[in-house]
Amino acid sequence: TTDEDGVLLSDDAVIDQMLGMLRASSDSITGSLSVAVHHLARLPEWQERLRERSRSLGSSALNSEDLKLLQEHDLFFFEAMRMFPVAPQLFRRSVRDCEFKDYLIPAGTQVVVDVGYIHRSSRYWTEASTFDPMRFAAPRLEHKRQKYQWLPFGAGAHNCIGQFFAVLLAKNVLHHLLRRYSFELTDAHDFELVLVPATYPKDGLKLRVEPLS
C-alpha cells in the first residue's frame, strides 16, 4: 500500500501497522472469548453443536476456506460480543452544534455512546436479555435492522482496525478448544464482569475443563 503521497510504505511502516492491528484485536479476542467460552459451558447443546461442526472439517490445520465454513462459530461469537461488548462505551466529540431531545450539544463536546444499553435494548433485539446466536442468522439478521445497533467494534472512521482479525482468530481458538476439551460450569452464578475500561471476568473464568478422548 501507499501513503497519502502515493509512495510505497516502508517495511517498518507495514510492521507498525500490523502491530497496531494485533494490539487492537487483542482485547476484543480475550474479553469476548471469555464470555463465549462461559456460554459454551452454560449451553451444552450449543457446545456440542459447534464441536460437531469443527470435527466435520477433519484434523488438519484450518485454512481460509475452512474458516468460512465455521459460520455457527461466527454466530456464537457475535452474540457474546452483543451481550457483553468489550468496549461498552464509545467516546466521541461532536463536530458541530446539534440538538438531541431538546438538549443543545455544542461543537467540541465529548459525548458517550452506551453500547451496552443499545445491545440490550428491546427496541432493536428480540428477547434482548436472552443469549441467542441465531438472531444473527438469516432470515432474522437482527443486527442489520438499524445501521448502528450492533457496535462491538465501534463504528465510522474510528472503528476497530483489528475487527476482522479478531473474529478470524476467535473462530480459530474456539475450533481448537472444542476439538480438544469439554467445558462445564463450576457455579452458574459465579460470573461477574469488570466493564471499564474493557470487559473481562472479574475473578477469572472459572470452569471445569475435561480433555476429550
For the chain, percent of residues with pLDDT exceeding 70: 99
Is there a cis peptide before residue 44, judged by omega within 30 degrees of 0?
no
pTM of the predicted protein model: 0.86
Q: Judging by beta carbons within 10 Å of its beta carbon (0-12, 13-18, 19+), is residue 53 exposed, middle or buried?
A: middle
What pLDDT digit, counting tens, does each position of 35-64 carry?
999 999 999 999 999 999 999 998 778 898
Candidates 142, 24, 147; CA nearest to 79 is 142
Q: How many helices (H) and strands (E) does the chain have?
A: 6, 8
Under DSSP, the state recorded for 137 is S
What pLDDT digit, counting tens, does each position of 26-39 carry?
766 888 899 999 99
User: In whole angstroms, how far apart are CA 44 and each of 20, 53, 205, 213?
Assistant: 36, 14, 17, 17
What pLDDT digit, counting tens, does each position of 94-152 carry?
999 999 999 999 999 999 999 999 999 999 999 999 999 999 999 999 999 998 999 99
Which cell goes with 72? 455457527
The 3 state secondary structure assigned to 157-185 is HHCCCCHHHHHHHHHHHHHHHHHHEEEEE
Residue 93 near residue 110 (C-beta atoms within 8 A): yes
pLDDT at 125: 97
What pLDDT digit, counting tens, does each position of 63-102 carry?
989 999 999 999 999 999 999 888 888 889 999 999 999 9
The number of beta carbons lying within 10 Å of the beta carbon of residue 49 is 17
pLDDT at 76: 96
